[in-house]
Amino acid sequence: MTGIIESLIYAGIGLLVFIIALVVMEVGTKFSITKKIAHEGNIALAIVIGSIIGSLGLIISAAIR
């Protein structure tokens, strides 16, 4: 049972880090990332953001172990 609770805690921390990273990227750019990807269909930007999210996932995974 404690393993499930620990997994939920780590998942929550990971999601919080992802949300903070996305907010920092959105505020740090001169344009709206959401608007560029969703409305204008900027696939290159979507790939870059996906790569950043994947990298953060690897870092968080390594930190948990």
Segment 31-49, tens digit of pLDDT: 999 899 999 999 999 999 9
Give yes or no for residue 64 having a pLDDT over 80.
no
Helices (H) and strands (E) in the chain, counts: 3, 0
Domain count, the chain: 1
Domain that includes residue 38, residue range: 2-64
Percent of the chain whose predicted confidence (pLDDT) is above 90: 40
pTM score of the predicted model: 0.73
Q: What confidence score (pLDDT) does residue 15 get?
A: 87
Whole-number average pLDDT of the chain = 88
